[in-house]
């Protein structure tokens, strides 16, 4: 698959749904973005801050699957 780049990560907005390693059962919601990275509240665990250039294992959930 295609890894999310730092540039793509910078386009995420609060409310966007994402998943971990293409696992549609392991989803979360972007709750904050800033110059350094994003904060995701995972459905199955707590919040996680991830720097933009470290978002390679996260991908946006296609809107038709939300």
pLDDT digits (tens, 9 = 90+) for 27-66: 999 999 999 999 999 999 999 999 999 999 999 987 766 5
What's residue 34's pLDDT?
97
SS3 26: strand
Q: Tell me, rounded to whole angstroms, the distance of Cα 50 from its chain centroid.
A: 9
Q: Which residue has the higher pLDDT, 19 or 62?
A: 19
Two structure tokens written together for 34: 């800033």
Provide long-range contacts, Cβ within 8 A and 24+ apart, for 36-42. Answer: 37/9, 38/9, 38/12
**pTM to 2 decimals?**
0.89
* Model confidence at 22: pLDDT above 90: no
CA distance 22 to 48: 17
Distances from the Cα of 15 to the Cα of 1, 2, 30, 47, 61, angstroms: 24, 22, 5, 14, 11
């Amino acid at each position: 698959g295609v890894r999310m780049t730092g540039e793509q990560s910078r386009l995420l907005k609060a409310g966007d749904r994402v998943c971990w390693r293409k696992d549609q059962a392991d989803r979360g919601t972007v709750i904050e973005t800033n110059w350094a990275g994003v904060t995701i509240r995972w459905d199955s665990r707590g919040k996680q801050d991830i720097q933009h250039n470290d978002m390679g294992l996260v991908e946006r959930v296609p809107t038709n699957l939300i």
